[in-house]
């Protein structure tokens, strides 16, 4: 206030009155030109309560990355990066123009968000080996042709057996360009991206739920750790984290080079069907030589996980309300005891 008075040249001195109140103070999050766009993005969904953890700092990385997981193209990501970089480089000149164009103001306000989205999209595009819907054969495909010219001239499509046509060495970075020409390209990519999205989504949700522990510990609400956080994270891990583990087990256990036909590629189970049958508590139907379960004791373990997950539901729904109800009863009982004690003490003084 003093600096404002001096800057304005006002002869009237400033003054400040403290007003006692029990109301929760408003939330203030200090931002700069880089973090302002991310903070506005978070505030559009909801503003954190006073002294709670501000999720905007983590959103600086998670939001552009999750966008790039969906967008994932080197060419389009490069266009976004160049567009945002031009705005960032000339931001001082552009900010002085004071444009009334709403669309332009949205782009200018989110220039750093667009820049990071473009950079992350280039990275995920390299992982997907996708540039304007075309693959880049940088390191050379790890798949090879095992047919002679006479055989190739007679058919349009051929099956490549991974045991013979694959060198058993992974492509150094990203997806092998041979999948660009595969007839089952869409099926393979959709399955791969769906599984990857589930894994990232579960990690993201677990991180978001875990952030509540910091709030509960700082705000002295440690009982909420047991009534809210632990049942939530257990429910998430026992069901969806287990689903992610099944995906990794499928990728590792089943191979075209497996000596056991039960763990060959033809017997690789559908993780989605396994998870649905887990919820229905029944075994997956399998034909010889395939197995109904991926590992010994899977049925018993899944039923145990399911039982503990369902036990977490009533704790999540009724734990906090019941605790508050008991706390209110205890508080009222204590207040009644204090009031009755004061009345007795006053009556004794009057008798004297």
- What does the DSSP assignment read for 223-241? HHIIIIIHHHHHHHIIIII
pLDDT above 90: residue 68: yes
> 3-class DSSP state for residue 282?
coil
Distance between CA atoms of residues 120 and 280, nearest Å = 39
Token pair, residue 97, equals 């123009």
Distance between CA atoms of residues 125 and 129, nearest Å = 6
pLDDT above 90: residue 163: no
pLDDT at 289: 86
Distance between CA atoms of residues 284 and 302, nearest Å = 13
What is the per-residue pLDDT across 263-317, written as a single tens digit (0 to 9) for each? 888 888 889 999 999 999 888 787 888 888 888 999 999 999 999 999 999 999 9
β-sheet bridge partners, residue 134: 131
- Confidence at 1, pLDDT banded by 50, 70, 90: low
pLDDT above 90: residue 216: yes
Distance between CA atoms of residues 201 and 206, nearest Å = 9
pLDDT at 13: 75
- Confidence at 342, pLDDT banded by 50, 70, 90: low
Percent of the chain with pLDDT over 90: 45
User: What is the pTM (predicted TM-score) of this model?
Assistant: 0.81
In this structure, the number of other CB atoms found within 10 A of the CB of residue 128 comes to 22
Residues 6+ apart with CB under 8 A from 57: 35
What is the per-residue pLDDT across 85-117, written as a single tens digit (0 to 9) for each? 999 999 999 888 888 888 998 899 899 999 999
């Amino acid at each position: 206030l003093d600096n404002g008075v001096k800057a304005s040249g006002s002869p009237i001195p400033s003054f400040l009155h403290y007003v006692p109140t029990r109301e929760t103070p408003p939330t203030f999050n200090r931002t700069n030109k880089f973090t302002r766009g991310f903070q506005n993005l978070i505030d559009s969904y909801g503003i954190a309560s006073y002294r709670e953890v501000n999720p905007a700092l983590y959103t600086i990385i998670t939001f552009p990355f999750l966008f790039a997981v969906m967008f994932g193209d080197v060419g389009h990501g490069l266009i976004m990066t160049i567009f945002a970089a031009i705005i960032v480089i000339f931001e001082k000149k552009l900010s002085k123009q004071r444009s009334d164009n709403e669309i332009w103001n949205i782009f200018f306000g989110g220039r750093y968000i667009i820049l990071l989205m473009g950079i992350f999209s280039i990275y995920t595009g390299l992982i997907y080996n996708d540039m304007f819907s075309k693959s880049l054969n940088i390191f050379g495909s790890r798949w090879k042709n095992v047919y002679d010219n006479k055989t190739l001239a007679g058919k349009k499509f051929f099956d490549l057996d991974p045991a013979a046509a694959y060198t058993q060495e992974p492509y150094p970075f990203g997806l092998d360009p041979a999948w660009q020409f595969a007839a089952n390209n869409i099926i393979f990519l959709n399955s791969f991206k769906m599984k990857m999205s589930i894994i990232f989504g579960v990690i993201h949700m677990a991180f978001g739920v875990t952030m509540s522990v910091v709030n509960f510990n700082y705000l002295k609400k440690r009982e909420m750790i047991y009534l809210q956080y632990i049942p939530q994270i257990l429910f998430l891990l026992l069901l969806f984290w287990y689903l992610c583990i099944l995906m990794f087990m499928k990728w590792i256990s089943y191979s075209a080079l497996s000596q056991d036909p039960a763990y060959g590629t033809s017997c690789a189970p559908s993780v989605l069907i396994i998870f649905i049958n887990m919820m229905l508590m029944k075994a997956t139907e399998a034909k010889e030589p395939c197995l109904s379960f991926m590992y010994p004791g899977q049925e018993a373990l899944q039923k145990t996980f399911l039982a503990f997950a369902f036990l977490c539901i009533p704790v999540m729904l009724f734990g906090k309300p019941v605790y508050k109800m008991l706390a209110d009863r205890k508080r009222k009982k204590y207040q009644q005891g204090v009031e009755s004690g004061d009345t007795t003490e006053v009556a004794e003084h009057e008798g004297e």
